[in-house]
């Protein structure tokens, strides 16, 4: 089974913010693969289903971004899943708006949700899909990531979310290297 985790913050207040593109990608994957992400367990909303012949679990941690690792650790321990079968989707201010980057492993960079995950599961060796949200021009980083996209950026980020969902499906069906070759550009 593959666990696909989208990072974000729960609650209406945070919907459609830059920090919640991971949640939005999970919602798109759920829609594309007819999976209901409505069960509450492991400090997360989740749903199980299939991408092709492969069983998957779509996960939206409900711990708030900076504690995302608590939820993922609980899932890993409960299902006895190896980290190679985890995919984490999250926003990245170091990537240009409209771009995505897929990596097999790596550091958290400045992302606190990823720091929490790496700290909790004690490894950085798991695939991730980073969605570029661009860097703030003048505002504070935390204000920026919690802000909504301006109208002119919405079509760009929706296209990025779609690419991220397709990349996750490719990782599940064909492997991370195939997804990297296809979507890293």
Question: Active-site residues: which are they?
Answer: 19
Q: How many CA atoms lie within 13 A of 119 on its CB side?
A: 13
Q: Is 156 exposed, middle or buried (0-12, 13-18, 19+ CB in 10 A)?
A: middle
Contact 70, 128 (CB under 8 A): no
DSSP 8-class letter at 150: P
Looking at the DSSP bridge assignments, the partners of residue 3 are 57, 86
The candidate with the shortest Cα–Cα distance to 174, out of 87, 95, 100, is 87
């Amino acid at each position: 089974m593959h666990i696909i985790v989208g990072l974000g913050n729960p609650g209406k207040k945070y919907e459609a913010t830059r920090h919640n593109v991971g949640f939005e990608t999970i919602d798109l994957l759920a829609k594309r693969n007819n999976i209901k992400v409505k069960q509450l367990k492991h400090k997360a909303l989740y749903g199980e289903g299939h991408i092709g012949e492969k069983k998957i679990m779509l996960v939206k941690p409900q711990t708030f971004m900076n504690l995302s690792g608590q939820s993922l650790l609980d899932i890993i321990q409960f299902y006895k899943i190896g980290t190679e079968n985890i995919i984490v989707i999250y926003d990245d201010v170091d990537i240009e708006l409209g771009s995505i980057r897929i990596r097999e492993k790596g550091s958290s960079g400045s992302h606190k949700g990823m720091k929490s995950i790496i700290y909790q599961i004690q490894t950085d060796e798991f695939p991730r899909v980073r969605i570029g949200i661009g860097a703030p021009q003048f505002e504070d980083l935390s204000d920026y990531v919690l802000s909504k996209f301006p109208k002119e950026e919405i079509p760009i980020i929706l296209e990025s979310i779609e690419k991220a969902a397709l990349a996750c499906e490719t990782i599940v069906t064909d492997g991370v290297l195939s997804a990297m070759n296809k979507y890293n550009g």
